[in-house]
Amino acid sequence: MTIQFIDLKAQYQHLKADIDARIHAVLDHGQYIMGPEVRAFEEQLEAYCGARHAIGVSDGTKALLIALMALDVGAGDEVITSPFTFISNAEMIALLGATPVFVDIDPVSYNLDPKRLEAAITPRTRAIMPVNLYGQCADYEAINAIAAKHGIPVIEDAAQSFGAGQRGKKSCNLSTIGCTSFFPSKPLGCYGDGGAVFTNDDALAKKMREIRVHGQDRRYHHPLIGVNGRLDTIQAAVMLAKLPSFPDEVAARERIGARYNALLGDVARVPVILPGNQHVYGQYTIEVDNREAVQAKLKELGVPTAVHYPIPLHLQPAFAHLGLAAGSFPHAEAAGRRVMSLPMHPFLTEEAQDAIVAAVKQALG
């Protein structure tokens, strides 16, 4: 049996007829840029997430950039974010000339720890950008309350958590602006790059729609500086075909995640779902000692693994200028040494999962 880390081919086979038909419809009408599928997909996103506005964009990183630009983040500003994640958020903050201000994670959820948030707020704080790592939402009730007290907007980085929920609301609709990614390996993936921004604020929605197309409000008239941040019509078509079965895929992810937890809970530190959260397991990530040896053994046994993420952002060479030495964020650093993600996708069979679990137990000795 070949075990895939993520099995996109199985999903394609399952939905092939509709995906092929929708791609061919785009080839036939030829509106590759901002064709009708883009708005149709946005409407589906609005219905799914319950947000007033969903705006399809070119990728998850651009979603974060557009959100930051809409909030006028620029030189001299500070944006608070997590040090334990993919580089996109800190990268886009820095690209705009602002400073990423890291707040250590809560070691249970791996998300920005609201208890440490208020101490990091200064008069220059322009936004707070928590990340829903591995598909579990940060604590927006606590974060939004602190943000509201200081009049600061919150950008939800939901790149890994599309489909997740918190206290009866969907991820992407938990704060001022939600941003997600449709990178192929994400819970809702397209067949290239894609992303979306969400908001309930009409003025911010208008601004983000304009920023997405070079700050344009009508053809060749540019009140704002923007970017080329459009979602491709073909990618919208692919996701229109995928959305109807997405709730079933989310249910499968939850079932597979819960089964992993039950089977591995006595040999490794498994994910903990905090009260009020519905986890979508964008990644299924455990903690182990001697990670490199465990990974090497699993590779030998035919089980692919990955590390999300080995080096916290404050220790990345690109952020050396921030002068944040090792030891600055002990929980992020400890997680970076210990986390390991296992194969996770909605088409993982119990047989494959049993083989993975047996291999993990063998590798842990």
Ligand X SMILES: Cc1ncc(COP(=O)(O)O)c(C=O)c1O
What is the contact surface with ligand X in residues (CB under 6 A)?
59-61, 85-86, 88-89, 131, 157, 159-160, 181, 183, 193, 195
Please list the residues that pair with 55 across neighbouring strands: 197
Nearest to 85 by CA among 63, 65, 68, 61: 61
Distance CA 215, CA 221 (A): 8
Nearer to ligand X among residue 175 and residue 353 (C-beta): 175
Sheet order of strands, 78-81 included: 99-102, 78-81, 125-129
Nearer to ligand X among residue 48 and residue 84 (C-beta): 84
Residue 248 neighbours by CB under 8 Å, 6+ apart:
346
Nearer to ligand X among residue 65 and residue 121 (C-beta): 65
Least gap, CB of 177 to ligand X (angstroms): 14
Distance CA 77, CA 1 (A): 52
Q: Which two tokens stand for residue 339?
A: 């986390």
Least gap, CB of 343 to ligand X (angstroms): 17
Nearer to ligand X among residue 23 and residue 190 (C-beta): 190
Least gap, CB of 186 to ligand X (angstroms): 7
Least gap, CB of 302 to ligand X (angstroms): 26
Q: Which two tokens stand for residue 126?
A: 């322009």
Q: Which two tokens stand for residue 84?
A: 């334990």
Positions of E strands within the chain:
53-57, 78-81, 99-102, 125-129, 155-157, 165-166, 169-170, 177-181, 195-199, 277-278, 284-287, 339-342
Specify the DSSP class assigned to residue 3: P
Least gap, CB of 285 to ligand X (angstroms): 12
**Residue number with the smallest Cβ distance to ligand X:** 60
Distance CA 207, CA 226 (A): 9
Judging by beta carbons within 10 Å of its beta carbon (0-12, 13-18, 19+), is residue 305 exposed, middle or buried? buried
Nearer to ligand X among residue 125 and residue 181 (C-beta): 181
Least gap, CB of 217 to ligand X (angstroms): 26
Question: 3-state SS string over 5-71?
Answer: CCCHHHHHHHHHHHHHHHHHHHHHHCCCECCHHHHHHHHHHHHHHCCCEEEEECCHHHHHHHHHHHC
Nearer to ligand X among residue 125 and residue 160 (C-beta): 160
Nearer to ligand X among residue 35 and residue 194 (C-beta): 194
Least gap, CB of 133 to ligand X (angstroms): 7
Nearer to ligand X among residue 77 and residue 193 (C-beta): 193
Least gap, CB of 62 to ligand X (angstroms): 7
Phi and psi of 81, rounded to 5°?
A: -150, 180
